Amino acid sequence: MAGSVGAAPRVGVLALQGDFREHLSVLRSLGADAVPVRRPEEIADLDGLVIPGGESSVMDKLSRAFGLAEPLKSAIAAGLPVYGTCAGLIMLADTVLDAITGQQTLGGLPISVRRNAFGNQIDSFETDLAIPELGDPAVHAVFIRAPVVEAVEDGVTVLAQLDDGRIVAVESQNLLGTAFHPEVTGDTRFHQYFLQKVRDRVVLPAD
C-alpha cells in the first residue's frame, strides 16, 4: 500500500484512452496525489485507481497490449479501490452482454452490463438522480453513449437508478462504478465518495 496516514492518497487514472485528464483535474482539486497510469510498474504505488470513460473495447486492447491487464486484475482482487465511469464501469464488470468478439474486462464487479444501452438515437442525455449515499441535492448526471447495469449479484449495492428502474451506479466492496460522467459537471461528490474509500483503506492497520 503506497499511502500513509496523513499523506495525500496516491490515486492513478488509467491514461490509455478516454477522458482521463478531467479525472486527474478533479482528483487533484480534492487534494489527491493524482497521476496518469500507462505502465504496469506504476500500479504498485497506488492507493486507488480511476478508469475513465472512453471506448471500452479499445481500452481493453490497449490494457493488454501495454501489459496492464493482469497486474490490474491482481490489484483489484487484492482490494485496491477502483472507480470506473462509463467505459470504466464496463471494464470492471464481470459480464458484458453485448461485447465485441474477443473483448475482455478486468472484472471484479459481479454485474452484467450492456455497452450500447440507449441506442444510437439517444447517444447522450442528462438527468437528475437521487442518491441517498451522497445526500442532497440530486446528482446531475451526464450520460454519453452510456452503458447500463442489467443485473447485479449478491454483494452489490445499487446507488442510482433511472426513473424506469435501470441501474446506473453500483458499488461492491472496493469497487465503484457509474454509467455517467461526474467529472464533467463540477459536482465532485462521487470523487469525494471514492476518495473516502481510498483513505479508509490506507489507514487500516496491517494484519
Burial of 141 (0-12, 13-18, 19+ CB in 10 A): buried
Among candidate residues 23, 86, 171, 191, the one labeled active-site is 86
Q: How many CB atoms lie within 10 A of CB 39?
A: 11
pTM score: 0.93
Q: Is residue 165 part of a domain?
A: yes
Q: Over the stretch 137-183, which tens digit does the pLDDT of each residue have?
A: 999 999 988 999 999 999 999 999 999 999 999 999 999 999 999 99
Taking the alpha carbons of 105, 107, 109, 110 in that order, is the dihedral positive or negative?
Answer: positive
Q: Is residue 206 part of a domain?
A: no
Q: Is residue 74 part of a domain?
A: yes
Find out whether 81 and 72 touch, Cβ atoms under 8 Å. Answer: no
Q: Over the stretch 61-73, which tens digit does the pLDDT of each residue have?
A: 999 999 999 999 9
Provide the residue range defining the domain that includes 127.
Answer: 10-201
Burial of 75 (0-12, 13-18, 19+ CB in 10 A): buried
Which residue do the cell numbers 490515486 mark?
Answer: 11
Q: Is residue 29 part of a domain?
A: yes
Most confident among 113-117, 137-141, 203-207 (mean pLDDT): 137-141
Q: Is residue 120 part of a domain?
A: yes
Q: Name the more confident of 185 and 117.
A: 185
Known catalytic residue at 41: no
Among candidate residues 23, 171, 183, 191, the one labeled active-site is 183
* pLDDT higher than 90, residue 1: no
Q: How many domains does the chain have?
A: 1
We report the CATH number of the domain holding residue 76 as: 3.40.50.880
Buried/exposed code over 154-176 (b: 16+ C-beta within 10 A; e: otherwise)? eebeebbbbeeeebbbbbbebbb
Q: Is residue 1 part of a domain?
A: no
Q: Over the stretch 72-107, which tens digit does the pLDDT of each residue have?
A: 999 999 999 999 999 999 999 999 999 999 999 999
Known catalytic residue at 86: yes
78 forms bridges with which residues in the sheet? Answer: none
pLDDT at 4: 46
Q: Name the more confident of 89 and 19.
A: 89
Q: Is residue 5 part of a domain?
A: no
Q: Is residue 30 part of a domain?
A: yes
Known catalytic residue at 140: no
Among candidate residues 22, 70, 171, 181, the one labeled active-site is 181
